[in-house]
């Protein structure tokens, strides 16, 4: 590759804060609120024009899996449009967990404002300012130009860990053996569905019998590869259904050209998928597209190497770590097929057998080598398989809750995250309804 040598320039210092959070997805949003509620001068930087990450700009259907206690419950109380479960209607999970992304965008903004978080949208965190292995600040790029933000503690909740990577924190991408990552998906919604007749397969193993055969087999035979699975979810709106059915494999979410390619591939699949729904699936005969995510959904990229790395075995044992900071986390091994459609051979949805929730220890949020940096969300330290479980949004929200507390404690006690005693985080979490 050829290089251009940039001349040295002076960059204005935009702000100096206590806690800086990169990324306003489920993890970063909650981390920022949690730190601000503890009196920290907290700033949140988000590249998109809305907060919420995959939950909003990704047009997400519902909060999947669960946790108990903590900030996730508060967010659900504030944003849920369907307070009660209606057991007479089929749906994968609780009715409260269905997301209306339009409502959620506004609720999240209001909650950030109430907590006093300094929010800057349309701003990309592009580089790390590191001195002697200590992260001192970041460089941002936006319409305002290139700017510097200094912070006592920085929480990287960008999903991909862009700043942690720039700072030099060690990571691997994707699967341990070959680096391959889960497929990307562009979520979209169809309207005009007769929901009294419609079916809602919520998992790959929901192979529902419909007039022309088994729905997943029909999808696999009639939707162009690498799409082919049928995942349909109720929304809060009449006749509107969320489709998690486009699929692009072999792409890396840390490369702009791969993100562009995946967007192209997934958009190209929308018309054939809608034709399949109209031709084969009861209730969808007259459906038509009404909206699609404004960004491609990226499931997996970097896994940072932390002081501890969560494993599949920890989840299967429902392990309670001494230094737990996220508790009662429950989901399955949701690995989308790395080389096609449907569930990967390493995944387990209905066949996930552990009914108890697991905990995530503080060490998973503390990256090796770099100080003043915490991780939150899907980029924490865990194996490819463990990540397939903790990546769901309720768990990411409660990660942010705990990490926001950790950041505030580090500042109050003048210690680096590596030296903070997790029992102190636990003491606050317990008061706020989180029990091991």
Q: Which residue in the set 20, 251, 298, 386 belongs to the binding site for ligand FAD (CB under 6 A)?
A: 298
DSSP 70: S
Q: Is 181 in the site for ligand FAD (CB under 6 A)?
A: no
Q: How many angstroms separate the Cα of 118 from the Cα of each of 14, 17, 27, 31, 130?
A: 12, 10, 16, 13, 23
391 lies in the binding site for ligand FAD (CB under 6 A): yes
Pick from 349, 354, 327, 350: nearest CA to 336: 349
Residue 417 is a binding residue for ligand FAD (CB under 6 A): no
The answer to whether residue 396 forms part of the interface with ligand FAD (CB under 6 A) is: yes
**369 CB-side CA count, 13 A:** 11
Q: Which of 297, 306, 361, 367 binds ligand FAD (CB under 6 A)?
A: 297
Query: Interface with ligand FAD includes 420 (CB under 6 A)?
Result: no
Among 392, 402, 409, 420, binds ligand FAD (CB under 6 A): 392
* Residue from 43, 104, 154, 187 binding ligand FAD (CB under 6 A): 187
| Region for residue 26 given its phi and psi (left: phi exceeds 0; alpha: psi -120 to 50; beta: otherwise) | alpha
Contact between 160 and 253 under an 8 Å Cβ cutoff? The reply is yes
Residues 16-55 that bind ligand FAD (CB under 6 A): 22-28, 45-48, 53-55
150: preceding bond cis by omega (within 30 degrees)? no
| Residues sharing a CB contact under 8 Å with residue 397, sequence separation 6 or more, in sequence order | 26, 27, 29, 30, 67, 70, 71, 72, 75
Question: Among residues 34, 151, 158, 388, which is the contact residue for ligand FAD, using CB under 6 A?
Answer: 158
Q: How far is the CB of 213 from ligand FAD (least distance, A)?
A: 26
Closest CA to 428 of 65, 372, 407: 407
Does 253 engage in binding with ligand FAD (CB under 6 A)?
no
8 A C-beta contact, residue 418 and residue 51: no
Regarding 244 and contact with ligand FAD (CB under 6 A), the answer is yes
Q: What is the rounded distance in angstroms from the CA atom of residue 368 to the CA atom of residue 164? A: 10
Question: Which whole-number Å values give the CA distances from 135 to 86, 150, 169, 269, 285, in the listed order?
Answer: 49, 9, 10, 42, 55
Q: How far is the CB of 185 from ligand FAD (least distance, A)?
A: 4
Question: In this complex, which beta carbon is closest to ligand FAD, that of residue 162 or of residue 279?
Answer: 162
CB of 186 to ligand FAD, least distance (A): 8
Which one of the spans 76-84, 159-167, 171-179, 284-292 is the region binding ligand FAD (CB under 6 A)?
159-167
Q: Is 66 in the site for ligand FAD (CB under 6 A)?
A: no
Cβ 211 to ligand FAD shortest distance, Å: 27
Which residue ranges make up the site for ligand FAD (CB under 6 A)?
A: 22-28, 45-48, 53-55, 58, 60-64, 124-125, 157-160, 162, 185, 187, 244, 297-299, 377-378, 391-393, 396
């Amino acid at each position: 590759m050829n290089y251009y040598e940039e001349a040295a320039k002076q960059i204005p210092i935009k702000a100096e804060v206590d806690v800086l959070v990169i990324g306003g997805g489920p993890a970063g949003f909650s981390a920022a609120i949690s730190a601000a509620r503890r009196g920290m001068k907290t700033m949140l930087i988000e590249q998109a024009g809305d907060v919420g990450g995959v939950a909003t700009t990704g047009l997400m259907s519902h909060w999947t899996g669960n946790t108990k206690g903590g900030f996730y419950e508060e967010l659900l109380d504030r944003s849920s449009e369907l307070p009660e479960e209606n057991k007479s209607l089929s749906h994968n999970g609780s009715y409260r967990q269905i997301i209306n992304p339009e409502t959620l965008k506004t609720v999240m903004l209001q909650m950030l404002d109430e907590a006093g978080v300094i929010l800057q949208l349309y701003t990309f965190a592009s580089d790390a300012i590191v001195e002697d292995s200590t992260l001192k600040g970041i460089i941002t790029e936006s319409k305002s130009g290139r700017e510097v933000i200094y912070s006592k503690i920085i929480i990287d909740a960008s999903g991909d860990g862009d700043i942690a990577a720039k700072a030099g924190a060690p990571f691997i991408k994707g699967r341990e053996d070959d680096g391959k990552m889960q497929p990307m998906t562009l979520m979209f919604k169809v309207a005009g569905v007769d929901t009294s007749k419609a079916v809602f397969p919520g998992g790959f193993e929901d192979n529902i019998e419909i007039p022309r055969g088994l729905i997943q087999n029909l999808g696999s035979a009639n939707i162009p590869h690498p799409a082919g699975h049928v995942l349909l979810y109720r929304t809060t709106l009449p006749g509107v259904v969320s489709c998690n059915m486009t699929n692009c494999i072999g792409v890396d979410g840390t490369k702009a050209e791969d993100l562009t390619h995946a967007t192209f591939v997934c958009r190209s699949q929308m018309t054939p998928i809608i034709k399949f729904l109209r031709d084969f699936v009861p209730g969808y005969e007259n459906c038509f597209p009404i909206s699609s995510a404004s960004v491609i959904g990226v499931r997996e990229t970097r896994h940072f190497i932390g002081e501890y790395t969560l494993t599949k075995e920890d989840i299967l044992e429902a392990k309670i770590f001494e230094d737990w900071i996220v508790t009662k986390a429950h989901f399955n091994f949701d690995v989308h097929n790395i080389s096609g459609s449907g569930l990967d051979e390493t995944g387990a949805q209905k066949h996930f057998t552990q009914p108890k929730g697991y905990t995530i220890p503080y060490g998973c949020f503390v990256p090796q080598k770099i100080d003043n940096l915490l991780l939150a969300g899907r980029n924490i330290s865990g194996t490819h398989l463990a990540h397939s479980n903790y990546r769901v949004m309720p768990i990411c929200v409660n990660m942010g809750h705990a990490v926001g507390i950790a950041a505030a404690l580090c500042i109050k006690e003048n210690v680096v995250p590596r030296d903070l005693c997790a029992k102190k985080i636990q003491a606050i979490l317990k008061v706020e309804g989180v029990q091991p």
